[in-house]
């Protein structure tokens, strides 16, 4: 373990791009399948692990999504969603994550017959418990599945209204190609009208720079999730840099989904050098071999990031978070105190 590795692990961090269903570890998936009598195409925990771990890569985003939706089909009760969320928050807190902004995919559950209320109650109970016990704060962002139509997203928006006080904003995820942000322009506008304060969208993970433009212009997003392919469009890079638009970058995800061929070719350092507000995140840590620390460690080694780069990423995460000003100031102080205590 190098000095830089220790520095990364101990550093207070935020995580802004995390799908709670993508934190479902093989052990919990297997146990919940047994408890809920869900048939999985795996004989045991090791079978699940070999399906999506141990260095194996997916061919593309859709290849992963097929396993991801099948995996989450073991989640049925409020207790299941509570256990899933608490396990993530405990793991994140153990990695010195002080704040997390968590995505969930309500349609992936309601379409199976799980009530919206079951999902949100389980998740929020774990959020409250983790905050009290571990001090980790968190927000929830509800994602619309973009492979479904806009009317389905409207229905989900309607179902979410009783829980609006527990959901900070809306996002857009699932299969990107052929499902441009434009498809969801009306429902994002309605979400704003209904009081959802922020919007984000996955854009430029597999899709072209045009999708990033659409997310900005048509959905009026406050952050771009991934954004890798924005680098193909110089005017777009300038626009993102000048407006201070944050990108929630997920290096191990990009490697596992073949968005990059090799971690050594990951554009994170280029993003920073071009003035983009890049942040470090794990996306679906159970499927992509790593939580936020493993992302920092792997990319630091692959790209030879400096301590200064690492601190910039952590600072960008704090600045790009959607917390109230007092909490933001507190997180800045925490990071500054850490830097003073670990001055070289």
Between CA 201 and CA 270 the distance in angstroms is 22
Question: Distance between CA atoms of 201 and 204, rounded to whole angstroms?
Answer: 10
- 282 scored as a contact of ligand HPA (CB under 6 A): no
Name which of 61 and 320 has its Cβ closer to ligand HPA. 61
Q: Which is nearer to ligand HPA, 7 or 255 (CB)?
A: 255
Cα(329)–Cα(325) distance, rounded to whole angstroms? 6
C-beta of 206 vs 283, nearer to Zn ion: 283
Binding mask 283-302 for ligand HPA (x = CB under 6 A): xx------------------
Residue range at the interface with Zn ion (CB under 5 A); choices 29-37, 187-195, 229-237, 281-289: 281-289
Beta carbon nearer to ligand HPA, 7 or 68: 68
Closest distance between ligand HPA and the C-beta of residue 286, in Å?
11
283 binds Zn ion (CB under 5 A): yes
Nearest C-alpha neighbor of 65 from the set 165, 145, 183, 11:
145
CB of 316 to Zn ion, least distance (A): 17
Strand order in the sheet with 13-19: 13-19, 97-104, 137-145, 169-173, 198-203, 223-226, 246-249, 277-280
To the nearest whole angstrom, how small is the minimum distance from the Cβ of residue 154 to ligand HPA? 20
Q: What are residue 103's phi and psi, to 5 degrees?
A: -85, 145
Examine the residue annotation and report whether 205 is marked as an active-site residue of this protein. yes
Contacted entry of ligand HPA, Zn ion, none for residue 61, CB cut-off 5 to 8 Å set by kind: ligand HPA
Closest of 195, 186, 202 to residue 154, by C-alpha: 186
Q: Among all chains, which residue has been given the structure tokens 């790209």? A: 303
User: Which among 139-147, 257-265, 282-290, 319-327 is the span making contact with Zn ion, rule CB under 5 A?
Assistant: 282-290
Kindly tell me which of 174 and 228 has the beta carbon lying closer to ligand HPA. 174
Q: Is the Cα dihedral 215, 236, 60, 50 positive or negative?
A: negative
Q: How far is the CB of 107 from ligand HPA (least distance, A)?
A: 12
101 binds ligand HPA (CB under 6 A): no
Q: Which residues contact 149 (CB under 8 A, 6 or more apart)?
A: 183
Q: Cα–Cα distance between 27 and 31 in angstroms, integer?
A: 6
Q: What are the tokens at 129?
A: 């418990």
Q: What is the 3-state secondary structure (H, E, C) of 155-211?
A: HHHHHHHHHHHHCCEEEEECCCCCCCHHHHHHHHHHHHHCCCCEEEEEECCCCCHHH
* 19 lies in the site for ligand HPA, by CB under 6 A: yes
Could you tell me which residues come within 8 angstroms of residue 34 by beta carbon, excluding any fewer than 6 positions away? Answer: none
- Check 15, 21, 25, 205 and give the catalytic one: 205
Residue-by-residue DSSP string for 129-153: HHHHHH--EEEEEEEEETTS-HHHH
Does 303 participate in binding ligand HPA (rule CB under 6 A)?
no
Residues contacting 37, CB < 8 A, separation 6+: none
Q: Which residues pair with 56 in a beta bridge?
A: none
Binding residues for Zn ion, rule CB under 5 A, total 1
Q: Consult the annotation and say whether 105 binds a ligand.
A: no
Question: Shortest approach of Zn ion to residue 136 CB, angstroms?
Answer: 20
Q: Which of 25, 80, 173, 289 binds ligand HPA (CB under 6 A)?
A: 173
Q: Does the annotation place 19 within a ligand binding site? A: yes
For residue 228, state whether it binds ligand HPA (rule: CB under 6 A): no
Binding positions for substrate are 284
Which residues participate in catalysis according to the annotation?
205
Binding positions are 17, 19, 202, 283-284
Binding positions for Zn(2+) are 17, 19, 202, 283
Contact footprint for ligand HPA (CB under 6 A): 19, 22, 61, 68, 173-174, 202, 205, 253, 283-284
Contact footprint for Zn ion (CB under 5 A): 283
């Amino acid at each position: 373990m190098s000095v830089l590795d220790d520095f990364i692990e101990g550093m207070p961090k935020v995580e802004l791009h995390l799908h709670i269903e993508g934190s479902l570890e093989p052990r919990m998936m297997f146990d919940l399948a047994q408890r809920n009598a869900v048939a999985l195409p795996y004989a045991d925990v090791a079978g699940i692990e070999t399906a999506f771990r141990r260095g194996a890569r997916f061919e593309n985003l859709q290849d992963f999504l097929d396993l991801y939706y099948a995996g989450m089909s073991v989640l049925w009760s409020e207790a299941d969603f509570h256990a899933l969320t608490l396990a993530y928050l405990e793991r994140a807190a153990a990695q010195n994550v002080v704040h997390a902004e968590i995505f969930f995919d309500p349609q992936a559950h309601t379409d199976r017959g799980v009530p919206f209320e079951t999902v949100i109650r389980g998740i929020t109970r774990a959020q409250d418990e983790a905050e009290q016990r571990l001090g980790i704060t968190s927000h929830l962002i509800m994602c619309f599945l973009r492979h479904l139509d806009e009317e389905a997203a409207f229905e989900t928006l309607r179902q979410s209204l009783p829980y609006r006080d527990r959901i900070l904003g809306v996002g857009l995820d699932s299969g990107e190609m052929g499902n441009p942000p434009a498809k969801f322009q009306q429902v994002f506008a309605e979400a704003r009208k209904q009081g959802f304060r922020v919007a984000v969208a996955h854009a430029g993970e597999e899709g072209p720079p045009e999708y990033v433009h659409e997310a900005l212009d048509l959905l009026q997003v406050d952050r771009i999730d991934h954004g890798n392919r924005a680098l193909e469009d110089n005017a777009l890079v300038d626009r993102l840099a000048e407006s201070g638009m944050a990108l929630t970058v997920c290096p191990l995800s990009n490697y596992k989904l073949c968005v990059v061929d090799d971690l050594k070719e990951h554009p994170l350092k280029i993003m920073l050098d071009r003035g983009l507000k890049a942040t470090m995140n794990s996306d679906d840590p159970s499927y992509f071999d790593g939580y936020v620390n493993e992302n920092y460690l792997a990319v630091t080694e692959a790209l030879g990031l400096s301590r200064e780069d690492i601190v910039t990423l952590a600072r960008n995460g704090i600045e790009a978070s959607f917390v109230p000003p007092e909490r933001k100031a507190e997180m800045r102080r925490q990071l500054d105190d850490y830097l003073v205590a670990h001055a070289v």
